[in-house]
Amino acid sequence: MIIEIDTLRIGFSGVADGPLHVPYALVLGCSDARAPIEQIFDQSPNDLFVIRVAGNVLGTERLGSIDYAVRNLGGSLALLLVLGHRGCGAVTAAVDLYLAPQDYPDLGLTHALRSLVDRILIAVRGASKAIERVCGPSAKDRPGYRDALIETSVYLNAALTAFDVRREVELFAGARRPRSSTASSTSPTRPCTPAPGRANPPGAASGRSSASRATSKSWGTASPGRSRRRPGADGRPVRLAACRPRRPRGG
């Protein structure tokens, strides 16, 4: 099936076949239909290179898309962002599995779905330890612990993914450099607010949980002044960050 699209109607004026592909940011986000990335950041077509997968986790296909963007869109790409969101179903499934492993068969997970949830379990375990350090071992027995663990896991899952993305981008950039060249120096800036008991992975912006003291105290989309810079395919700095969208008013 071929679908005809009016380029003028979607905002591409003056070019019959559409403009050049020049997004300024790459966003790895969740597939959840309640987290529309372009609308969240109020961006127009051709502004963002968007990769969406349940739980905003990395995998071979997503890394391939990131590799393509860094290598071929380096002339315009200036920001790489990992976006988590409140109420993520994939994170919730991972938390439920962590809290009740004996009910694992009841979740009815396929092999593919298990592989996705298993990636998020790393963040869930870290979130659980962070809450325990802040609130004590008895935190697991308190009302609201599950909700607090989900909120904290959403934040930590995005931060860990951003850390992995940064490492992969460094490998992409290094593979394109001559062996005799040296790695480009970073341009460190003021660090992000760390989660209690441990430092955030580089490139993570702060988030807030209303249910748990284990997360940071302020909301915020990615702040360029708080992100780390890494070289893109053409040697230009590429910023990397992780964030959660601001909570809608009245939500």
Q: Tell me the pLDDT tens digit for each residue of 163-173.
A: 999 999 888 77
In a domain, residue 248? The reply is no
In a domain, residue 13? The reply is no
What pLDDT score was predicted for residue 155?
Answer: 96
What pLDDT score was predicted for residue 191?
Answer: 36
Residue with tokens 């003056």: 14
4 or 188: which carries more pLDDT confidence? 4
Mean pLDDT computed over every residue of the chain: 75
Task: Decide if pLDDT at 113 tops 70.
Answer: yes
Q: Dihedral through CA 174, CA 176, CA 180, CA 182, nearest 10? A: -40
In a domain, residue 202? The reply is yes
What pLDDT score was predicted for residue 75?
Answer: 87
**Which of 37-51, 141-155, 182-196, 224-238 is predicted least confidently?**
182-196
What pLDDT score was predicted for residue 123?
Answer: 97
Domain of 92 in residue numbering reads as: 25-243
Residue type, 188: P
In a domain, residue 163? The reply is yes
Task: Decide if pLDDT at 157 tops 90.
Answer: yes
Total domains, the chain: 1
Mean pLDDT over 36-55 rounds to 94
Look up residue 222 and give its two tokens. Answer: 């990615």
199 or 2: which carries more pLDDT confidence? 2
| Measured distance CA(184)–CA(59) in Å, rounded | 26
57 or 244: which carries more pLDDT confidence? 57
In a domain, residue 20? The reply is no
58 or 171: which carries more pLDDT confidence? 58
Note if the pTM is more than 0.85.
no
Q: Is 136 left (phi over 0), alpha (psi -120 to 50) or beta?
A: left
In a domain, residue 10? The reply is no
pLDDT digit string, tens, across residues 139-155: 999 999 999 999 999 99
In a domain, residue 121? The reply is yes
In a domain, residue 180? The reply is yes
What pLDDT score was predicted for residue 102?
Answer: 81
Q: What is the CATH number for 165?
A: 3.40.1050.10
Task: Decide if pLDDT at 188 tops 50.
Answer: no
